[in-house]
Structure 1
Amino acid sequence: MARKIRQAAVIGSGIMGGGIAALLAGAGVKVLLLDIVPFDLKDEEKNDPAARNRIVKAGLDAALASSPSLFFNKKDAGLIAIGNLEDDIDKLADCDWIVEVVVERLDIKRNLFEKVAKIRKPGSIVSTNTSGIPLQDITEGFSDEFKQHFMGTHFFNPVRYMHLLELIPGKETLPEVLDFISKFGEKNLGKGIVWAKDTPNFVGNRIGIQGISAAMRFMQEDGLTVPEVDAIFGPAMGRPKTAIFKTTDLVGLDIMMHVAQNSYDLCKDDEQRDIMQLPDFVEKMAKKNLLGNKTKAGFYKTDLTPEWKKIRKVLNLKTLEYEDLERPSFPCLDAAKKAGTLTEKINCVLKADDKAGKFAWKLAANSFQYAANRIPEIADTVVEIDNAMKWGYNFEMGPFEQWDAYGVADAVERMAKDGLEIPANVKAMLDAGNTCFYKLENGVRYFYDFASAGYKPVPVPESLVSIAAAKGNNKTAMENASASLVDIGDGVFCLEFHTKMNAINEQIVDFIAESLDYVDKNGVGMVIGNEAGGMPGAFSAGADLGFISKLCHDKKYAEIDAFLKKAQDGIQASRYAPFPVVAAPYGMTLGGGCETCLGADRIVAHSELYMGLVEIGVGLLPAGGGTMNLWKKHVNALPGKTVKDVDLAKIFVAAFMKIGMAAVSMSAAQAVGNGFLGQADRIVFNRDTLVGEAKKEVLRMVDDGYAPPMKQPLKVFGDAGQGMVNAELYNMRNGNFMSDHDAFLAKRIAYVMSGGDVNVGSEVSEDTILKLERDAFVDFCKEEKTVARIDHMLKTGKPLRN
């Protein structure tokens, strides 16, 4: 019988338990969320179900109120039932998977699992989210059947956003249980799976906490400050902007201290055990309750002036007093900003001779040593360690990938000169003539396996399609500086943007038309997708504003119109091409990026989708067919006959407000509610498989005998829609909810979406609305306030409300 997870239980309703429950509910699983009965119940409350469920209710409420949201859609909470471990524990008998997320104490966990073992149905999977207690200690004395279905499933916080899921087999865990949870976690929950061994802190936190501890230790030795270290180990080194100390503030200093202490207490043979003893300032910070974001003060804090201006402060570790934050600058970081690739940036820093470069090398060399010495102790391969750091800490490169970027032999030579011990496994690899941890051959990525002393293919999900691998296998059909068309197999080609933030420029607009012609002659269908690093990333942040700004300042309005016409023609050509076109958006999918998706036959979206038509924020409107195609998406969601009789007012205001208020979905589920995704579109939880799933959709449509849609007139709301919107704009303007320029823009947007000077219920051609889009866009470009908005966005990255 095939396993299924229809009902799951999460025991423990703290931030981690609430996050796991929210994720499971988002995947369509019914969840039973349990916690203890409060110890402080009054006599009159002891029989009151609400009072007895007070702790678990507070946990679920906290998950619902979390920001950023732990839920893809707040409606998912309807799949979560709450209860307590006295009155509702028998309900565990109905659960296919039981996840424990209680306090890190062996006695408490064993006591809980003794109760669970008596109630659970045979064959149900039980897992612990522990980060430090050995699994064999938890299950000692339990039945063989329980041990066979018991394992570790270590999620990372916040559960929705962190890609990593560490799976830890017990000694007796059945292989089919491990295989099932791995596939369920990868496909249904969208996680990147790392196989860890039953060692303290597993993989991600074992490596991560050593890196943070070493940074603190070396910072004191070399006399650097908190902002200096964060500047060095930020984006220039392929790390998130939160770097080291902002990350600690985010996670919580108390959590970091617990993990470090765990490593120190339990890893007695670790050659860098002493580094896990944190500097004195950490203990002093904890005593002063400077724990980070949770206490609104950690290594950093934000003060407000009487004028409500935010001032960033940073902790002076010598005085433990806060000082104004001054952004540090180093020559190597300035050079890294100008470098094109991450490898070049890393080398700018690590090979520099300034203060930052020397510190970066010292910490990087230490991390190289530590990571290599953890194989096979905590994991069997370099892949597990690199993936744990990329998926659990948002690094763009893991330690072995970064070592490759520097040059393994060069780094080893420098480490030897510095008197550092070279890990034996790395020395043996080099002695055998193998000079890298990873290599690409015929489009397949290989890693060096220390155990077999040879290279093996990097394991990937079954449905993964790698654009990079296809390129490495000489499958690029066409390309220019901004886009590529890549053969991803079976007659399907992928149109990939690769500008900064994948912004759409004139090169991309021209390339779309050329790609459609190529696929028509040589393929069966096309995917529009790309593989940006990091989360959430950007499918496309919209049109190239710098290009638009220059045309505005030069008053080249005819050129603007011509650019828009080409963009519209390309997007409409993809909609009416004789083959299926499927868009695969993820992360930021704004403005022109959103319009590109709305013009495709179907959308296969990642669950983390921040989609919207936000042009009004820069004084413009969607003019790549977005205004028309969003309205069309709303109308087409109605059954055919209903369109003739429906009150268009019910859908017009909803569609208009998505543009007029620059609404952006905070998930793909919200994009459905906003009308950007329709019934035929799909949501994929694992971004690694997004392009592969989009390719499957293309082939499915081909197999179904795809025929392009017919061009038909579009029923519009006409002057009645404009009247409704104008009345609402008048009220909003009088209430100071929008500026005069906002109202001016919104009024014209309503005019375009409603079809122009026509009566309610009129049918107009698509070309008519597209022309209205272009005319409005060009007119907006002539407005000084619009140009000011564009320039402000380019300069600050923030909208200007003028």
Structure 2
Amino acid sequence: MVRKISKAAVIGSGIMGGGIAALLAGAGVKVLLLDIVPFDLTDGEKEDPAARNRIVKTGMDGALMAQPPLFYSKKDAGLIEIGNLTDDFDKLADCDWICEVVVENLKIKQDLFKRIEAIRKPTCIVSSNTSGIPLKAMSEGLSPEFKQHFLGTHFFNPVRWMHLLELIPGEETSRDVLDFIEKFGEVNLGKGIVWAKDTPNFIGNRIGIQGMGKVMQEVVRQGMTLAEVDALFGPAMGRPSSAIFGTADLVGLDTMAHVMENSYALCPDDEERDTHVLPDFVKKMVENNWLGNKTKGGFFKKEKNAEGKKVKMMIDPATCEYVEFAKADLPCLTAAKAAETPAEKAKAILYGNDKGAKFAWSCCANGLIYAANRIPEISASIVEIDNAMKWGYALETGPFESWDMIGVNESVAKMEADGMAVPEKVKAMLAGGNESFYKVEGGRQYFYDFETEAYKPVKLSESALSLATCRADGKVVKSCPSVSLVDIGDDVFCVEFTTKMNALNREIIEFMGEVKDFALENAAGIVIGNQAGGMPGAFSAGADLDYVLGLCKGKKYAEMDEFLTLAQNGLKEIRYANLPVVAAPYGMTLGGGCEVCLGAADKIVGAADLMMGLVEMGVGLLPAGGGCTNLWKKFFFALPEPVQKDTDLAKLFVPVFMAIGMAKYSMSAKQAFGFGHMNPLADRIVMNRDLLIGEAKKEVLAMVDAGYAPPVKKPVPVMGEAGAGMISAQIFNMFSGGFLSEHDMLIVKRIAYVIAGGTVKEGTPIDEDVMYKLEREAFIDFAKEEKTIARIEHMLKKGAPLRN
């Protein structure tokens, strides 16, 4: 039997249930979203279908309005049918997967599963999104057939954005069901799969919540401020900027408290059980309903001071009162800032001597020991724990990867010197001459297995391809500080940007020319992509604005023109070279990053979470690395050739102008299709970012097998003078309505002129080099404007556009 999920049901329409429904719909699955009938219906409402579906409708509306968005495209909502557990229960009979997301109450879940057992078709998979109730207890008394199709599928919130999906087998779950859900979750839903045991809070929350509890207790004991703690446990240590207390505010202190209480109650033999007890100041916050972002006040909040200025406030653990936020000033943080690599930054903090270093060490060392002690209780291997923490808590490295970074021998010696109980299994590993938890040999990554006391290969999906592993295995064939060319096998090479946010600088542009020459002699094809950590991450956040600002302030306009010409020609030459090129963008693919995809690639294989667009307008500029030209070409040449001859160019001109002039960017790859940055006939979406480079490589090889021939350069018809005239009234109306400033007006008029190809007649075919020249001239003219310089400075300082 070939299993498929054509229709799924989600029972429970809260934020988690709504998120799961949205994800399934985004994967093209029809979804039945059910919830209970409200208890408070009046006599007049009891027969009203809308009133009976009020709870589920509220949940669905919440999912549609959620920020960040839970839907890849709101059109996906058309695949979701809503209903209630009284009137629509029979509709579960034709579902291939039923996912329960109801209240954490054993009796309610048992009763629900008994009802489902009576109606489900024999092949239907049933899962629970519980985190605290054992699967065995929920399925007690149900048939063997039901138990064979029953498992835990623990999504993390927000469902679309958190990569982790913990799968928990029941004692009798069939191997066929487990294998199918693993592949479906990884490929169709785009999740990182972690196999967990049926223990309280599984892996991610068991490890994560203990770490948070330890930090909160140590804050009181060691007298640290929340600002100091979040500075220590933020990006400096490879963690998200929300760090510890910011993350708690995002999750909600009530949710955090519930998970902690759950671990405390259900894990009586946990050696760190006491770390699951909330400090008094946090208990008081929960009592006061200071629950974080949902209540506009938690560990942090913003309020107006005596001068009416909005300032950030933070809780003082000693008094449980709000005080003004004071930026952390710790020697170890200064040392970490000066360090270059993540490992050096972590060592600067953990092996320092100031109070911040001592605090960070006491918490981190405790967490490393705790993680090691959880094997084999909650997980069979270190890999599952590391992945759970990276994918569920947005850490750049998991506990054991972090342990390797700071040196296992050195850290264990420090732990023992501090009187900590290092797990015997870790000491045995070191005694056996194994000095790291991971190693790379022969192009494969291996992990240390405590049970066999030997290294085993890390299991990867067939489509997964790790650039880090390729680098560790000596597969870098060319490199400079900003970019590398990595051999990814089968004569395919990957161009990997390595700057901060993968911003494009001169070094990268010059390197691209060298790549073309090398590839023509040595490569079957090229992938342009990288695997920077975090979600959604950045394929490339655009051009190096520091460099651009320096040219602007120095009035180095000739150098600016030369740089832009170099960028345009570099991308163009790769595009027309006799080798297939596939771009693999994900996350932030903005400005110059978008131009690389549009200008250099035959195809785009984009991750589902793709924020793609030409956003130079936000810094007072326009796309001049070929962005204007290539977006127009992508729109026009996407049309079949017979249609091109009779096309009304105005119908193409307006959306291209709006995309660039309004700095539109997608919030998903589906939206990128809608904006024209991706072509549904040539480009495709990969749901799982982990598989992106591997899937892009497959596309390269497919083009080679099909007898690849490079595209032929040909003129493209443009709107000419008619284009600028056509939208002038629209621009004026937007200015009059306050939607555009005078500087905006200056920029968008010139953008229209460039996209239109200048002052030629409508329909005139022009060479793309003519449009490239128009881009450069406009860019340089804007660079001379003080308001543009102000916009660039503001973006660099604040990370947000300035309206001037």
Residue 557 of structure 1 corresponds to 557
Q: Hey, what does 1:71 align to over in structure 2?
A: 71
- Name the stretch that deviates more: 643-652 or 338-347: 643-652
Q: What is aligned with 2:346?
A: 346
Alignment of 1:34 with 2:34, yes or no, is yes
- Deviation of 1:194 after TM superposition, in Å, equals 0.6
The aligned residue for residue 625 of structure 1 is 626
The C-alpha deviation readout for 1:428-487, integer Å capped at 9, x for no partner, is 112222111111223221110001100011111210112222222222221122111111
1:514, distance to aligned residue in structure 2 (A)? 1.2
In structure 2, the partner of 1:100 is 100
CA contact (8 A) 1:314 1:323 kept: yes
The match for 2:645 is: 644
Of the structure 1 ranges 775-784 and 245-254, higher mean CA displacement relative to structure 2 is found in: 775-784
What do residues 731-761 of structure 1 show as CA deviations (whole Å, max 9, x unaligned)?
2222222111111011111100001011111
Which range is displaced more, 1-10 or 629-638?
A: 629-638
In 1: Cα distance, 2:233 partner to 2:514 partner? 41
Residue identity opposite 2:423 in structure 1: P
| 2:592 alignment counterpart | 592
Query: Which residue matches 2:665?
Result: 664
Q: Deviations over 1:378-420 (max 9, x none)?
A: 0011111111111000111111111111211211111111111
Shift of 1:644: 2.2
* Equivalence for 1:506: 506
What residue number does 1:409 align with? 409
What's the secondary structure of 1:43's corresponding residue?
coil
SS, match of residue 573 in structure 2: helix
Cα distance, 1:308 vs. partner?
Answer: 7.6
- Does the CA contact (< 8 Å) of 2:717 and 2:765 recur in 1? yes
Separation in 2, partners of 1:313, 1:279: 20
Q: 709-718 or 689-698, which moves further after superposition? A: 709-718
8 Å Cα contact 1:16-1:159 kept in structure 2: yes
Distance 1:307 1:78 in 2: 49
Counterpart residue number, 2:236: 236
The alignment partner of 2:645 has SS state of helix
Matches within 5 A, 1:360-759: 360-599=360-599, 600-679=601-680, 680-759=682-761
Q: Contact 1:442–1:472 (CA<8 Å) still a contact in 2?
A: no
Specify the alignment match of 2:799 in structure 1.
Answer: 797
Q: CA deviation at 1:520?
A: 1.0
Change beyond 3 A, Cα 1:264–1:615: same
- Counting matched residue pairs gives 802
SS of alignment partner, residue 508 of structure 1: helix
Question: How far did 1:587 drift?
Answer: 0.6
Partner in structure 2 of residue 764 of structure 1? 766
Bigger mean CA deviation after superposition, 685-694 or 514-523? 514-523
Q: What one-letter code is carried by the residue in structure 1 that aligns with 2:622?
A: L
CA–CA distance in structure 1, aligned partners of residues 309 and 168 of structure 2: 48
- 1:787 — aligned with what? 789
Q: Distance in 2 between matches of 1:207 and 1:595?
A: 41
CA contact (8 A) 2:220 2:318 kept: no
SS at structure 2 position matched to 1:243? coil
- Give the equivalent residue in structure 2 for 1:117: 117
**Alpha-carbon distance in 1 for matches of 2:673, 2:709:** 25
- 1:344 is displaced (CA, Å) by 0.7
- Alpha-carbon contact 2:220-2:317 (below 8 Å) kept: no
CA distance in 1, matches of 2:797, 2:116: 58
Letter in 2 for 1:639: P
Could you say which residue in structure 2 is the equivalent of 1:288?
288
* Contact kept? 1:156, 1:165, Cα under 8 Å: yes
Q: Is 1:153 equivalent to 2:153 in the alignment?
A: yes
The CA distance in 1 between the partners of 2:416 and 2:37, in whole Å, is: 59
Which residue in 2 is equivalent to 1:165?
165
Q: Which moved more, 1:143-152 or 1:300-309?
A: 300-309
Please state how far the C-alpha of 1:306 moved relative to its aligned partner. 9.6
Contact 2:253 2:286 in 1 (8 A): yes
CA offsets 1:124-153 (integer angstroms, 9 cap, x no match): 100000001000000111100000000000
Query: 2:344 and 2:360 mapped to 1: Cα distance?
Result: 15
Give structure 1 stretches of 5+ with no counterpart.
none
Q: How big is the shift at 1:788?
A: 2.2
Determine if contact 2:209/2:256 at 8 Å carries over to the other structure: yes
Letter of the 2:320 partner, please give it. Answer: L
CA distance in 2, matches of 1:46, 1:798: 50
Alpha-carbon offset, residue 317 of structure 1: 2.5
Tell me what 2:43 maps to.
Answer: 43
Partner of residue 10, structure 1: 10
Q: Work out whether residues 591 and 615 of structure 1, in 8 Å CA contact, stay in contact via their aligned partners in 2.
A: yes
1: CA distance, partners of 2:561 / 2:309? 41
Report the residue type matching 2:704 in the other structure.
V
Q: CA 1:137–1:185 in structure 2 vs 1: closer, same or farther (change >3 Å)?
A: same
Aligned equivalents of 1:356, 1:443: Cα separation in 2? 39
Q: Which amino acid aligns with 1:286?
A: V
Deviation sequence 1:259-285 (CA, Å, 0-9, x none): 111111110111111221111222211
Question: Matches of 1:787 and 1:664 in 2, distance apart?
Answer: 22
Cα pair 2:127 2:153 within 8 Å, conserved: yes
Amino acid at match of 1:558: A
CA distance in 1, matches of 2:797, 2:48: 58
Question: 2: distance between equivalents of 1:7 and 1:308?
Answer: 54
Equivalent residues of 2:5, 2:96 under 8 A apart: yes
Alpha-carbon displacement from aligned partner over 1:223-265 (angstroms, at most 9, x marks no partner):
1122221111111111111111111110011111111111111
> Matches of 2:283 and 2:272 in 1, distance apart?
20
- Contact conserved, 1:616 with 1:659, CA < 8 A, in 2? yes
The answer on 1:299 being equivalent to 2:299 is yes
Q: How far apart are residue 30 of structure 1 and its match?
A: 0.5
- Asked if 1:225 corresponds to 2:225, the answer is yes
Letter paired with 2:762: V
Please state how far the C-alpha of 1:610 moved relative to its aligned partner.
0.7
Q: How far has the Cα of 1:304 moved from its partner?
A: 4.3
Distance, in Å, in 2 between the alignment partners of 1:355 and 1:319 is 21
The reply on whether 1:182 has 2:182 as its aligned counterpart is yes
- 1:305, distance to aligned residue in structure 2 (A): 6.4
Report the TM-score when normalising by structure 2.
0.98
Residue 505 of structure 1 deviates from its aligned partner by 1.0
Q: Percent identity?
A: 64
| Separation of aligned partners in 2, 1:380 and 1:107 | 30
Q: Tell me the distance in 2 between the aligned counterparts of 1:232 and 1:471.
A: 29
Distance 2:308 2:605 in 1: 43
Show CA shifts across 1:691-716 (max 9, x none).
00000011111111111111111111
Q: Tell me, what secondary structure is at the counterpart of 2:28?
A: coil
Q: Distance in 2 between matches of 1:69 and 1:483?
A: 32
Q: Distance in 2 between matches of 1:524 and 1:446?
A: 29
Rounded Cα–Cα distance in structure 2 between residues aligned with 1:624 and 1:317: 51
- Cα distance between partner residues in 2 of 1:272 and 1:656: 59
Aligned partner letter, 1:794: L
Contact map agreement 2:622 2:778 (CA 8 A) in 1: yes
Tell me the CA shift for residue 642 of structure 1. Answer: 2.1
Question: What code does the residue aligned with 1:332 have?
Answer: C
The equivalent residue for 2:776 is 774
* Deviation of the 1:646 alpha carbon: 2.3
Q: Secondary structure of the equivalent of 2:605?
A: strand
